[in-house]
Chain A
Amino acid sequence: MKKNLPEFGKIVVPKERAVPFGAVTPAPESCQLLFMTGNWRQKRPVIDDKKCTRCLTCYMVCPDACWTFNEEEDRMQWNPSFCKGCQLCTHECPSEALTATPELDFEGGVVRLAKPF
């Protein structure tokens, strides 16, 4: 008799659409590669190393942590993959070492990319 009752079937979720257990995802380590925001910007901050006093204001101010201090090379390092071009750093730099420069001026500027990251 049981065999005549309908079944519940089986639910098959394709792997590429599956949600992880309990919607729990791994924590990123140094950056979230699944959300590269570098292709947002229209201008990038260009640094004049001679004016830079290594005060670390740009590093402290960036909401996207795109400025880091490279200790070995003693210079500020900029992250092109994530910088959104907000120019907070440019505005806050006390020694005017940063200039907002259009992406179009750069061969590899994000606005020139055929495909975003």
Chain B
Amino acid sequence: MSNERFLTGCSAAAQAAKMAEVEVICSYPIRPYTAIMMELAKMVANGELDAEFVHGEGEHAQLSVVLGASAAGARAYTGSAGVGVTYAGELYSPVAGGRYPLQMAIADRTLDPPGDFGSEHTDAMTFRDQGWLLGWACSPQEVFDNTLMNYRIGEDHRVMLPQMVCQDGYFISHIPDKVVLPEMSQVKEFLPPYNPPHPLHPERPVSHGPQIRPDQGAPMDAQRAAVFLEVPAVIREATADFNRIFGRKYDPFIEKHKMEDAEIAFFIMGAHSNTCRNTVDELRKKGVKAGMVRLRWVRPWPTHALAEAFAGVKAVASVETSTSYGGAMRGGNLVHELRASLYDLPDKERPLVTSFMAGLGGETIWLHDFEFMAKKLLNMIAEKRTSRYVYWIGFEAEGGKK
């Protein structure tokens, strides 16, 4: 009954968008996400997908076009990478605050300067505070699955938020892997049609977005924050449904690998988690009690799930493939929220935490890099302290990279 193919992350995203029957697509080319749009263009051209394929004049326009389309009641889809994501910057808050549940596919790319095609998570992470749902896949299958799940969650009337569905550029976007495509009947069972409460319909006129009163600035923010208190329940429901209908086994927020009795653990997101998982298995063979937690959702951040997962672990390495120049740890930006999540654990259960800058500029993170990280974690346990906030793989005096 199922349809097994070998697809890149880009192809998987396009297939999922097609099965989600997206109605307005706005394209603009930028490496490495362009292939998603190229495939959708073909589908529209040969009649496989009845959608308006709008050639946006830039990424800022892409977000604007899909905002309008979503307001008018159409399921809208767009995407970008790197500086394209930052160019659209003005629109993220208006889209989220306006509660337009459109989807943006992001295949990560390091930000300029200068042009660098390698994957870093910084592009999408830069906008994590604008009120979107945000998460990362670690395989083309998960890209496909996340596309459908995000529409389901985002368009739920308890949520009504736009979603960024992210995948590492090149590693996921361009390397094919096995993807099981479902039947349309399964998709229709999982994903109801888009049904916004106040579309721009000539017979039911409304005003979208007048200026609010001066005393409403704070309530506007508070109300936007309040939605995120509801989102986790919807994520749990939708993931359970997804697993049931499509036969998968996703944990709603985080993937836990060999965490039951882990003493050291990696905290990681995206493509490099695959190498990390392998390293954990290798370390286990050598008798090291290693584990991995892979983050699937950055927004909403699974604070409690992470605290529970890491409680009792002795030392944790946050693997950072994004930059936060001048930040608290002088490294990446996952570790800040990780430490915040673990801060309130009882003393005996709170792990030591350090971070490792790795995979920047689209570099491969090698198995031996993760082994280097594991060694550092074991040292921390021996010394009973975190001596460093951050290590830069390949740029440490003592090496750590071939």
Q: State the B residues within 8 Å of A (CB).
A: 97-100, 160, 197-198, 205-210, 212, 215-216, 218-220, 222-223, 225-226, 229, 303-304, 307-308, 311, 344-346, 349
Contacts and interface: CB of A to CB of B under 8 A. Distances in A.
Contact of B215 (A8, A17, A22, A24): A17
A5 B345 contact: yes
A114 interface: no
A25 interface: yes
Contacts of A23: 97-98, 208-210, 212, 220
B308 A10 contact: no
A26 B219 contact: no
A6 B210 contact: no
A19 B223 contact: yes
A26 B206 CA distance: 5
Most chain B CB neighbours (cut-off 10 Å) among A6, A13, A17:
A17
A56 B209 CA distance: 34
Nearest to A13: B219
B307 to A, nearest CB: 5
A7 to B, nearest CB: 9
Nearest to B345: A5
A10 B228 CA distance: 11
B221 to A, nearest CB: 10
A70 B209 CA distance: 35
Q: Closest 8 CB pairs between A and B?
A: A22-B99, A27-B205, A11-B226, A24-B198, A17-B219, A19-B220, A25-B207, A13-B219
Contacts of A21: 99, 160, 197-198
Given A22-B160, A23-B97, A17 B311 contact: no
Contacts of A2: 304, 308
A19 B219 contact: yes
B97 A22 contact: yes
A18 to B, nearest CB: 6
A30 interface: no
B216 A22 contact: no
A31 to B, nearest CB: 14
Nearest to A24: B198
B206 A4 contact: no
Contacts of B303: 5, 8
